[in-house]
Structure 1
């Protein structure tokens, strides 16, 4: 394979969000001339509102409204001046009230995102280290990116994985002063919580451990004076913790609050906290509303409100327990998550609920892994018991219908969320389809396979037999792959779909930027398998091209594709795969849409390069067909240097020369961190030398040392396609003698002399290959990971 086109991560997110918007799930506009919190107007309907984060309903409290209106009448719509110079007249009272709630020194911020940007770079010293829970809120992760400019290590652990956290603490404790662990009190998607008491025990064991906790979703509905879930659990704020709460969401106003028991650090952050210094302060209406809410929080009324909400959440929990709905985490928070697995199932389910009169949120990538799409339901004091019961009834009724209509089942969803799977799952009825799934190409009819896949790169029957012989029984685990071959036919024996799959160890940074791979390769000098995962892929790391045969016109084509998805999912579970990859596909919107609905995200691959030789032309005619500009390049950079090279075509490589060719290949592999993979074992190249379908194009300088300086490893498939699968180079001569371009030209000459109709130049260096007449086309991979941990970890590098 070749270098990835590192499209911006936002491009992938944009595709997912755009799809959801087209489904009528996101980017909606609320309708109506007033709100009461209980219903929300969407698409001409008044829907019961189960998507708010104002859990106590204080945003509709008359006292907050009156305070906000009064502040505007007295002070205007804003106070346009930095708080560093002078604070609004109402600020002092608000800070005093919030301070009373926590019994600690506090800082009011414009919102939590700006608050994190101000607090984190100020609190974290250059001698510190940061460890993130991989599900900590994006705003915290984003603020930590600023620390990289100061060479502060920012590490990450899997969600609530305390053993992993302790390992990281031990690692950083040798070199770092304080070690900050950053997490959420209540997590915004699943409603689960940080294991606070275990974390406190860990801090007693490691005095360097400090905590930065974002508890905005735990605010108001829990804790003394509504100070949040963290304070409710710990009762007192530890001296080694910075706590973030919110004045928006449940608090009913705007802004956020940082609670800082360390007075020296409080002064440091407040004195110069980036956005705290340079951003505008809260508007008078927001300050007044927050003060009115603080008065409620400081009164016994807050406990009445909390109890009213608790009664509703317990009622909802009780109703859910009587259903088969897959509640991902059962807890006491007002946040609930019903898993749907695939995005298209989530779209279907949400649209059904909205049509029935209920507004709920859809949890989507990147907030959750793509295959962990689900419905997030929030309970508030606005919700009445009768509509809560009606929602559960509607969900229990429509959830099975959404599963059935989108071709999935409850067991598949529960598997995606690592939940207990029912012992009896619905059988997949294939009906009039004949399915062949084998673990060796020797068990597949050679003629049938070659008729379907024989013209594709090194994927004919003999090419795959070569792969099996090369990537099984090796010493190192990364050099051993499991193979599966799938053919789906109709009852008349007509093939509809065919592909092969491999499972093996991949580097997690294979699709990451080169700079990230360079960093990880340093760590792999001490741990060869650092950040590697077992991956199931259509095709293999050795092959390039169209790995999937599909008769798109066949009336059972969609069913065959669904069976492929079920097969990949089943094999992935059995083989312990953490990631599934589909590659290399063109810009087919219909196929891309299908894969995205199945829980895959699209990533752009390098362009595919193919040369068409069907006219049976000679070399001179081929070159004459190049553009004027490309012919000029050819004469200057290729033809002029050709006399300096000795070109050998080796069907069998002499034993003394094979190590030299292997080293040339390894030069290229080491230089290609843009697509980081394990190198191939020597056995692969020995098998090439012994296999009649492989040959080597070798370049030597006539006037230089006798050793080769370039090699092309080429496969001759039965479909008359010539496949220069891999290249080896001595980089000393690449610039001075245009060695790589010479190899491309000699490959074309060789294919023409053999009478081949196509050259599959694969995925790389499209600029160079285009100049020699290759047709270039876009290629994409579709990736599905078991979770977002690796993606977010790589994002911290």
Structure 2
């Protein structure tokens, strides 16, 4: 029915990156007239470089440099011709050497991103299916999207979760010829690895299973001839595995390499593969440098280089083991990740390390969940023992200070990464001494006047409205119909409120704000599993309410501290409830709040636009309509006034119990037809509780007998309205008979009758809520852009919904 404006993933990433740029940790420029690998110059400071992915340091090897310069002198800066026609003179040599390295046929690609774009559509047939590890590199996920146009099913499992993978294999095996599982060999953020041996066992158990590995971060520093982590475990490459390595990063040159032992598939990919066919080939300098590197990889020297790096990694691991730094993944790869939890702590820590003389990378959303921000440290042969030791000493000194400066703690960070906590607990007594918190799980424990003075005017969450909601969402059979309510009021020492809000703990559909087309697909699967893709969420306000759910006195000197204490309280509650997501919602644009939430581990997402009439000065219908724009008046005459006589309009404070089932069906009609805001249904006892509550009334539309199909008067529309303490008239929900809805303009009629009723009883505000903003605007409502801030335990649900959205 209503068109929903969904959050744009790129807008969210743009917001995160802009914050990081402002903090001076992203989109930096190296300075100086030369690079050594050991140092990097930033902001006129020479820093020890712990951010490179050139783990063996070959990009600074004189043999590679000389080969590249000689090639430019002999062949020019590029060979501007597709490889489909003819390859550069040095290509044959490089292909021969890489084939010798891998002992299987290879294909050289411009880079791994273009390589995946070329290979995956060629390797995956229309009769195949794909399962992605949700942490597989972005370049793989991007290439897979091309296959959606061919209706190839694409699924996603949680990171390294082989039980989920086997479940997907069982479900797909009867329908598809091959099932491709796509993963990284070594993951670029945490340095963890794919469980190769276990995956091979699955391949043996399910011959349909084929594996596709991006092993660019496992390249050169391990394996025979430096062919990487995956091949080091496999020893030989089976026909059902495609493997990508890199000629850049640790290899020291440029480009990427695919190896494939299946002769038929190899020929198919090599003959035609999108970018493989039409993109420019590697420049002569890159090919020559890669040949020089391949010569090293084919010599015993590669093993001494690997051993040299291994010593540095072992030394770094030893120093970390002697520290209290929260290392997220203990491994023997060159990639290490020290968790900081909140982005603001990460910004502070990285800047401290740069001031101390060490360059490290910050891991940010979307590469990691926003509350799993941290510092990625890479060890290379450029790094000497003295600076490795200095790095650890500097981290040990600055890490607790970065936590303290950003009101965080080691315990919070370890909890975010599910790491064992240390015995030491630090509580910020100063904040707690300046503010006191009142917490309760029932509105009945808060004085009515006290609550209503803070939040009573905004919607169905004045004291009486919350009493209704607590009764509605308790003691029900279905788990989605039972909510936990949590109320917080933060006061200063003079008992003056600084912040007040409430949260509900409830079951959400992960696709709640996804496009309707996505929710329709998911709902089909929910016919067999009604709780598919659902999560327990601790959300500000509730799924029943809309509006400003938080009172915050920003003129108070302690407003920022109140927000920090609220986060502490919610973190403790979240830990107890074990939720998947924490959500703050219904905010208008506010730079201060945006910075606060982002810095403390939340990402901003756009919500559907909200609509409101704030100054309803009602005299009569004609006066109200005369104040609308010319275009809106025309709309009213054509689409509302012309149909009003078809209905008998009634306003009731009670509905006969015999009509409850019909009302519920009308309500469910709208829910099923408006999947752009996809929620569970409400408990059926809602109408009995509304009948017993003085704040509720019902605007009903009965289609006159002359206009119905069977000659009987029918109830075809209803608006469920709440009168709050602040003279707001809240049209909370709508029910319609879709057999008549469009023909008789029922929705538009109900909107107008709501305005008319609100005016007649002296209400000044009508918070129309989300969806259908265009229709409401035509009747004089103001459209307001709203935002939410979410903190997810991992990115899996977000990425799965995003994948389904792109699959549309």
Match of 1:790 among 789, 797, 807: 797
- Counterpart for residue 693 of structure 2: 691
- Counterpart for residue 770 of structure 1: 777
Question: C-alpha separation between the residues in 1 aligned to 2:13 and 2:555?
Answer: 31
- Does the 8 Å CA contact 2:186/2:192 hold for their aligned counterparts? yes
Q: Deviations over 1:432-458 (max 9, x none)?
A: 212111011111111100100110100
User: 1:126: Cα distance to partner?
Assistant: 1.4
- Counterpart for residue 757 of structure 2: 750
- 1:43 and 2:6 correspond: no
More moved, 54-63 vs 205-214: 205-214
User: 1:616: Cα distance to partner?
Assistant: 5.9
Question: C-alpha separation between the residues in 2 aligned to 1:561 and 1:139?
Answer: 38
- Does the 8 Å CA contact 2:7/2:607 hold for their aligned counterparts? no
Question: C-alpha separation between the residues in 1 aligned to 2:737 and 2:304?
Answer: 77
- Does the 8 Å CA contact 2:129/2:180 hold for their aligned counterparts? yes
Question: C-alpha separation between the residues in 2 aligned to 1:301 and 1:323?
Answer: 34
Q: Give unpaired runs (5+ residues) of structure 2.
A: none
User: 1:240: Cα distance to partner?
Assistant: 1.8
- Counterpart for residue 374 of structure 1: 374
Question: C-alpha separation between the residues in 1 aligned to 2:286 and 2:638?
Answer: 71
- Counterpart for residue 387 of structure 2: 387
Residue correspondence of structure 1 range 510-521 to structure 2 within 5 A: 510-521=512-523
- Does the 8 Å CA contact 2:6/2:608 hold for their aligned counterparts? no
- 1:640 and 2:660 correspond: no
Question: C-alpha separation between the residues in 2 aligned to 1:347 and 1:619?
Answer: 57
- Counterpart for residue 105 of structure 2: 105
Q: Give the TM-score normalised by the residue count of structure 1.
A: 0.98
- Counterpart for residue 68 of structure 1: 68
Q: Deviations over 1:687-739 (max 9, x none)?
A: 11221110100001223332211110001111111111001112233333221
Residue correspondence of structure 1 range 516-555 to structure 2 within 5 A: 516-555=518-557
- 1:728 and 2:721 correspond: no
SS at match of 2:645: helix
User: 1:314: Cα distance to partner?
Assistant: 0.7
- Counterpart for residue 661 of structure 1: 663
- Counterpart for residue 355 of structure 1: 355
Match of 2:565 among 554, 557, 563: 563
More moved, 725-734 vs 446-455: 725-734
- 1:715 and 2:722 correspond: yes
Q: Deviations over 1:94-139 (max 9, x none)?
A: 0111111111111111111111111111111111111111111011
- Counterpart for residue 602 of structure 2: 600
- Counterpart for residue 701 of structure 1: 703
Q: Deviations over 1:211-241 (max 9, x none)?
A: 1111100000000111111122222222321
Residue correspondence of structure 1 range 294-305 to structure 2 within 5 A: 294-305=294-305
Question: C-alpha separation between the residues in 1 aligned to 2:233 and 2:743?
Answer: 69
- Does the 8 Å CA contact 1:2/1:606 hold for their aligned counterparts? no
More moved, 229-238 vs 62-71: 229-238
- 1:631 and 2:638 correspond: no
- Counterpart for residue 462 of structure 1: 464
Q: Give the TM-score normalised by the residue count of structure 2.
A: 0.97
Q: Give unpaired runs (5+ residues) of structure 1.
A: none
Question: C-alpha separation between the residues in 2 aligned to 1:663 and 1:472?
Answer: 22
SS at match of 1:756: coil
- Does the 8 Å CA contact 1:132/1:181 hold for their aligned counterparts? yes
Question: C-alpha separation between the residues in 1 aligned to 2:235 and 2:127?
Answer: 31
- Counterpart for residue 622 of structure 1: 624
Question: C-alpha separation between the residues in 2 aligned to 1:217 and 1:373?
Answer: 20
SS at match of 2:82: coil
- Does the 8 Å CA contact 1:2/1:675 hold for their aligned counterparts? no
- 1:129 and 2:129 correspond: yes
- 1:169 and 2:169 correspond: yes
- Does the 8 Å CA contact 1:698/1:711 hold for their aligned counterparts? yes
User: 1:261: Cα distance to partner?
Assistant: 0.8
- Does the 8 Å CA contact 2:618/2:624 hold for their aligned counterparts? no
Question: C-alpha separation between the residues in 2 aligned to 1:494 and 1:416?
Answer: 33
How many pairs were matched up?
Answer: 797
- Counterpart for residue 217 of structure 1: 217
More moved, 565-574 vs 80-89: 565-574
User: 1:622: Cα distance to partner?
Assistant: 2.6
User: 1:511: Cα distance to partner?
Assistant: 1.8
Question: C-alpha separation between the residues in 2 aligned to 1:770 and 1:264?
Answer: 61
- Does the 8 Å CA contact 2:4/2:772 hold for their aligned counterparts? no
SS at match of 2:742: helix
More moved, 287-296 vs 178-187: 178-187
- Counterpart for residue 412 of structure 1: 412
- Counterpart for residue 446 of structure 2: 444
- 1:574 and 2:552 correspond: no
- Does the 8 Å CA contact 1:3/1:675 hold for their aligned counterparts? no
- Counterpart for residue 232 of structure 1: 232
User: 1:424: Cα distance to partner?
Assistant: 4.4
SS at match of 1:708: strand
User: 1:200: Cα distance to partner?
Assistant: 1.2
Residue correspondence of structure 1 range 443-522 to structure 2 within 5 A: 443-522=445-524
Question: C-alpha separation between the residues in 1 aligned to 2:655 and 2:589?
Answer: 40
- 1:435 and 2:442 correspond: no
Q: Deviations over 1:392-438 (max 9, x none)?
A: 11111111111111111011011111111234422343102121110
Q: Deviations over 1:615-635 (max 9, x none)?
A: 464444333322232223222
Question: C-alpha separation between the residues in 2 aligned to 1:484 and 1:140?
Answer: 42
RMSD after superposition: 1.4
Question: C-alpha separation between the residues in 2 aligned to 1:173 and 1:228?
Answer: 30
Question: C-alpha separation between the residues in 1 aligned to 2:690 and 2:428?
Answer: 41
User: 1:784: Cα distance to partner?
Assistant: 1.2
Question: C-alpha separation between the residues in 2 aligned to 1:145 and 1:607?
Answer: 29
Q: Deviations over 1:451-500 (max 9, x none)?
A: 00110100100100100000011111011101100011111111111001
User: 1:154: Cα distance to partner?
Assistant: 1.1
Question: C-alpha separation between the residues in 2 aligned to 1:202 and 1:631?
Answer: 67
- Counterpart for residue 313 of structure 1: 313
- 1:293 and 2:297 correspond: no
Q: Deviations over 1:16-49 (max 9, x none)?
A: 1111111111111111101111111111111111
Question: C-alpha separation between the residues in 1 aligned to 2:576 and 2:557?
Answer: 31
SS at match of 2:649: strand
SS at match of 2:786: strand
Question: C-alpha separation between the residues in 1 aligned to 2:785 and 2:175?
Answer: 46
Question: C-alpha separation between the residues in 2 aligned to 1:792 and 1:756?
Answer: 43
Q: Deviations over 1:341-368 (max 9, x none)?
A: 1111111110111111111110001100
Question: C-alpha separation between the residues in 1 aligned to 2:108 and 2:207?
Answer: 29
Question: C-alpha separation between the residues in 2 aligned to 1:557 and 1:749?
Answer: 40
